[in-house]
Amino acid sequence: MSKGIVTCEVEIEVPFFDVDMMEIVWHGHYIKYFEVARCALLDKIGYNYMQMRASGYTWPVIDLRIRYAKPAKFRQKIIVHADISEWENRLKINYRIFDKLTGNRLTRGYTYQVAVEMGTNEMCYESPPILWEKLGLQKP
């Protein structure tokens, strides 16, 4: 299903407060679903936001793209799939949202995050060794 080095899936039941009067998810809430999957993915590699901060880096999202294919609806069970596909100079996480029952893709997108050294507030042009370590990789 994925080309990423690390993958994760979370299940979400679309809550009432995420939908409009037609019971369709408002487009901005998909970012929240991406974030839920991203947090689970970062937990999986042992490098969540608190661990990032403890390592001396913040990782702000600098780019976000979403492509909507079909709407999610109230009480629909969705699967949010996330995977890491780039890590050398920035962190790219891909997302795909599927209907749990049919497997139909509803949405896809990605985010780019970069490491920022907390002590200097400078953006890093290469991902720090800690990310490579958490991914179980050797930096070339």
Residue 44's nearest CA partner among 18, 17, 82, 16 is 82
Domain count, the chain: 1
Q: What is the DSSP string of 7-53?
A: EEEEEEEPPGGGB-TTSBB-TTHHHHHHHHHHHHHHHHHT--HHHHH
Q: Does residue 112 lie in a domain region?
A: yes
CATH number at residue 115: 3.10.129.10
Q: Considering the domain boundaries, does residue 139 fall inside one?
A: no
Q: Which helix (H) or strand (E) holds 68?
A: strand 61-68
User: Averaged over 3-20, what is the pLDDT?
Assistant: 93
Domain containing residue 90: 6-134
Report residue 1's pLDDT band, with 50, 70 and 90 as the boundaries. Answer: very low
The two structure tokens encoding residue 45: 């590699």
Answer whether residue 29 is part of any domain: yes
**Rounded percentage of the chain residues whose pLDDT exceeds 90:** 94
57 lies in some domain: yes
Q: What is the pTM of this model?
A: 0.93
pLDDT at 87 over 80: yes
- Name the pLDDT band for 4 (thresholds 50, 70, 90): confident
CB-based contact 2:37 (threshold 8 Å): no
